[in-house]
């Protein structure tokens, strides 16, 4: 792996490193996104003393303290064995004493990786971190403190938005996200994997641009072969990842899994009230709301309020590509895979089913939601236009047909751009019947929203659309997959 397309993050770290004052950085992002790699690669070779401690999942306070003191001995005292402290106050005191013995011009990086795992209940770690930062470390311009965690919600609540002594103490923060499509292409190129854009899209729709997953791809294979090796062979990375993914990020992960499975089953999203009602009493109320917030902050789901549907409240939709792919394709045959009884090549056969085509449509929509800026640029829509979705489901007994708008931009120039999203391996052909249905949807939208704005219809398709009279009659703009790669 290398630091491909992490320019903004590197600039932040450069600013932190060159600063002539103490710095406190909060770094967070989902599991496998490359947080630890970013920090270690950036500081490798720097003329600084690098102290790195990593929390252990479900590790006791005593065990965490042993690891901590071992690192102090290794970094500051040439590998000497030190007596383990009894608590975090003693541990930070020993660390502070070690720092004070360093020369005044020696920069010191304190990297606390997976801090949420270190800050166990009743450990008092956060309280001691609060005290030592405010009392000692924030007065020492040599110190650059970096705290990191895969549980984004924990870092945001306990560090970034801390209401106690750490309130407003953060000087820098980095939310490290998975790669976009253009980043993925650049990363794969750096690995010697040269693929066309549509092949990269296929890989993206199962990996979500997570660098760790991408690092397991070998050159010389097609997207279908790559996916089979990543997900459908014994002990493959995507076969075994899911079991650890939620349990490593969230306490009481069963509740999170209940919620996300229901969300995944609703292509157009599900309302908060209906969702919490569906999971039952154990996950209702504050427990369910917290779980939803945690999963959104960690990038698994997105919340939205459909255009003109404020009374219906918040909706949720799954946007993590790997999670949806796992639930749809891997989970149903996982036991078979682990028993070595799945024939090689079965994955290619699965791609010829109607379920595969339905999945392609959903997965491509999720990709589009992550590339809103690219769609805006291709359609020359200004950043102040509000991106949203819209759906109308008629009440029972009403003869009016429903309608779904995959994506829309409510613009400031008294216009709304409605976007139809379609996955197709060839340029999409608009027929007379299809265009009539599009016109009907636009009329339903206009009638139900009572909008007075000018409506335009654009098409977002992997390979664009085939020019014909029907397309010229209704389509005002076209976005293709290549537009998503323009900054590659």
Taking only the tens place, the pLDDT of each residue in 404-428 is 999 999 999 999 999 999 999 999 9
User: Among 16-20, 173-177, 181-185, 309-313, which stretch is predicted with the lowest mean pLDDT?
Assistant: 309-313
Mean pLDDT computed over 94-107? 96
- Dihedral of CA 148/154/159/161: which sign? positive
User: How far from each other are the two terminal CA atoms of the chain, in whole angstroms?
Assistant: 18
Q: Which of 188, 190, 192, 189 lies closest to 203, judged by CA? A: 188
| β-strand pairing of 301-304 with 315-318 | antiparallel
Please give the residue that has the higher pLDDT: either 395 or 38.
38
**CA angle (13, 299, 194) in 5-degree steps:** 70
Same domain, 164 and 220: no
Please give the residue that has the higher pLDDT: either 280 or 90.
90
Q: Is residue 1 part of a domain?
A: no
Same domain, 184 and 169: no
pTM for the full model?
A: 0.91
Please determine, for residue 57, whether its predicted confidence score (pLDDT) is greater than 80.
yes
Please determine, for residue 402, whether its predicted confidence score (pLDDT) is greater than 80.
yes
Render 372-388 in DSSP notation, one character per residue.
Answer: HHHHHHHHT--TTSEEE
Q: Is residue 395 part of a domain?
A: yes
From 131, 151, 175, give the residue that closes a domain: 175
Gyration radius (Cα) of the chain, Å: 25
CB distance 464 to 422 below 8 Å? no
Q: Which helix (H) or strand (E) holds 470?
A: helix 469-474
Rounded CA separation 442/455 (Å): 8
CATH number for the domain harbouring residue 37? 3.40.50.300
Q: Is residue 199 part of a domain?
A: yes
Q: Which residues pair with 315 in a beta bridge?
A: 271, 304
Mean pLDDT computed over 256-282? 87
Rounded CA separation 81/73 (Å): 6
Rounded CA separation 200/180 (Å): 11
| Distance (Å) of CA 32 to CA 53, 149, 242 | 18, 11, 12
Same domain, 204 and 83: no
> Which one of 244-248, 342-346, 449-453 scores highest in mean pLDDT?
449-453
| Distance (Å) of CA 416 to CA 366, 382, 472 | 21, 12, 19
Rounded CA separation 409/390 (Å): 11
Rounded CA separation 438/441 (Å): 5
Please determine, for residue 281, whether its predicted confidence score (pLDDT) is greater than 70.
no
Cβ atoms < 10 Å from Cβ of 453: 14
Same domain, 130 and 152: yes
Q: Is residue 85 part of a domain?
A: yes
Expressed as residue numbers, the domain containing 345 is 179-370
Confidence of residue 244 (pLDDT cuts 50, 70, 90): confident
Output the pLDDT for position 344.
Answer: 62
Rounded CA separation 181/163 (Å): 37
CB distance 433 to 394 below 8 Å? no
CB distance 383 to 401 below 8 Å? no
Output the pLDDT for position 214.
Answer: 96
Same domain, 148 and 50: yes
Mean pLDDT computed over 242-266? 89
> Residues 18, 19, 25, 27: what is their CA dihedral angle, to the nearest 10 degrees?
-30
Rounded CA separation 291/298 (Å): 11
Output the pLDDT for position 345.
Answer: 62
From 124, 155, 175, give the residue that closes a domain: 175
> 36 — phi, psi (to 5°)?
-60, -40
Tokens 């060159």, located at residue: 18
Same domain, 355 and 236: yes
Same domain, 285 and 386: no
Give the chain's domain count.
Answer: 3
121-150 exposure pattern, b = at least 16 Cβ within 10 A, e = fewer: eebbbbebbbbbbeebbbebebbbbbbbbb
Same domain, 247 and 142: no
CATH number for the domain harbouring residue 442? 3.40.1350.10
Q: Which of 304, 306, 276 lies closest to 290, judged by CA? A: 276
Name the DSSP letter for residue 328: I
Same domain, 348 and 239: yes
Confidence of residue 350 (pLDDT cuts 50, 70, 90): confident
CB distance 346 to 232 below 8 Å? yes
User: Among 15-24, 150-159, 200-209, 472-481, which stretch is predicted with the lowest mean pLDDT?
Assistant: 150-159
Query: Percent of the chain at pLDDT above 70?
Result: 95
Rounded CA separation 203/230 (Å): 10
Q: Is residue 2 part of a domain?
A: no
Beta strands (DSSP E) in 270-414 are 270-271, 301-304, 315-318, 386-392, 403-410
Output the pLDDT for position 1.
Answer: 47
Query: Percent of the chain at pLDDT above 90?
Result: 72
Output the pLDDT for position 342.
Answer: 54
Same domain, 34 and 80: yes
Q: Is residue 217 part of a domain?
A: yes
Mean pLDDT computed over 93-112? 96
Mean pLDDT computed over 335-362? 75
Please determine, for residue 336, whether its predicted confidence score (pLDDT) is greater than 90.
no
Same domain, 87 and 190: no
Q: Is residue 255 part of a domain?
A: yes
CB distance 369 to 375 below 8 Å? no
Assigned token pair, 66: 């042993």
Please determine, for residue 488, whether its predicted confidence score (pLDDT) is greater than 70.
no
Q: Which helix (H) or strand (E) holds 318?
A: strand 315-318
Please determine, for residue 231, whether its predicted confidence score (pLDDT) is greater than 70.
yes
Q: Is residue 312 part of a domain?
A: yes
Output the pLDDT for position 306.
Answer: 81
Output the pLDDT for position 3.
Answer: 76
Same domain, 239 and 155: no
Confidence of residue 249 (pLDDT cuts 50, 70, 90): confident
From 327, 352, 370, give the residue that closes a domain: 370
Rounded CA separation 4/201 (Å): 18
Confidence of residue 334 (pLDDT cuts 50, 70, 90): confident
């Amino acid at each position: 792996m290398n630091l491909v397309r992490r320019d903004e993050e590197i600039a932040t770290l450069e600013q932190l490193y060159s600063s002539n004052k103490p710095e406190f950085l909060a770094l967070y992002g989902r599991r496998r996104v490359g947080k630890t790699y970013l920090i270690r690669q950036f500081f490798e070779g720097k003329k600084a003393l690098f102290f790195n401690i990593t929390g252990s999942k479900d590790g006791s306070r005593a065990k965490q303290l042993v690891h901590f003191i071992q690192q102090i001995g290794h970094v500051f005292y040439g590998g000497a064995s030190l007596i383990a402290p009894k608590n975090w106050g003693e541990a930070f005191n020993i660390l502070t004493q070690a720092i004070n013995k360093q020369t005044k011009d020696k920069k010191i990086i304190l990297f606390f990786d997976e801090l949420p795992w270190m800050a166990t209940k009743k450990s008092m770690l956060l309280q001691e971190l609060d005290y030592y930062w405010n009392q000692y470390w924030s007065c020492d311009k040599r110190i650059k403190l970096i705290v990191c965690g895969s549980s984004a919600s924990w870092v945001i609540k306990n560090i970034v938005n801390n209401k106690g002594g750490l309130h407003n103490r953060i000087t820098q923060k980095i939310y490290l996200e998975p790669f976009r499509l253009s980043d993925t292409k650049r990363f794969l190129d750096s690995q010697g994997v040269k693929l066309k854009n549509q092949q990269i899209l296929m890989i993206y729709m199962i990996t979500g641009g997570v660098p760790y997953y991408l690092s397991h791809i070998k050159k010389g294979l097609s997207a279908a072969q790559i996916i089979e090796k990543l997900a459908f062979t014994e002990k493959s990375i995507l076969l075994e990842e899911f079991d650890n993914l939620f349990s490593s990020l969230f306490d009481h992960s069963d509740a999170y899994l209940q919620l996300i499975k229901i969300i995944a089953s609703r292509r157009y999203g599900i309302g908060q009230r209906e969702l919490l009602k569906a999971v039952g009493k154990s996950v209702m109320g504050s427990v369910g709301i917290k779980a939803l917030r945690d999963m959104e902050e960690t990038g698994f789901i997105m919340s939205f309020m459909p255009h003109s549907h404020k009374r219906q409240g918040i909706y949720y939709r799954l946007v993590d590509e790997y999670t949806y792919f796992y639930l749809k394709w891997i989970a149903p045959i996982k036991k078979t895979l682990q028993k070595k009884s799945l024939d090689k090549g079965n994955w290619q056969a699965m791609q010829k089913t109607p379920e595969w085509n339905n999945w392609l449509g959903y997965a491509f929509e999720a990709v589009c939601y992550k590339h809103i800026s690219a769609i805006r640029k291709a359609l020359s829509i200004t950043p102040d236009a509000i991106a949203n979705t819209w759906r109308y489901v008629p009440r029972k007994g009403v003869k009016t047909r429903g309608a779904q708008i995959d994506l829309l931009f409510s613009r400031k120039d008294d216009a709304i751009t409605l976007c139809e999203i379609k996955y197709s391996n060839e340029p999409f052909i608009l027929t007379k019947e299809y265009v009539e249905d599009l016109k009907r949807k636009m009329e339903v939208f206009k009638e139900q929203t009572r909008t007075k704005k000018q409506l335009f219809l654009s098409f977002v398709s992997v390979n664009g659309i085939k020019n014909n009279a029907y397309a010229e009659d209704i389509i005002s703009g076209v976005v293709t997959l290549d537009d998503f790669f323009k900054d590659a």
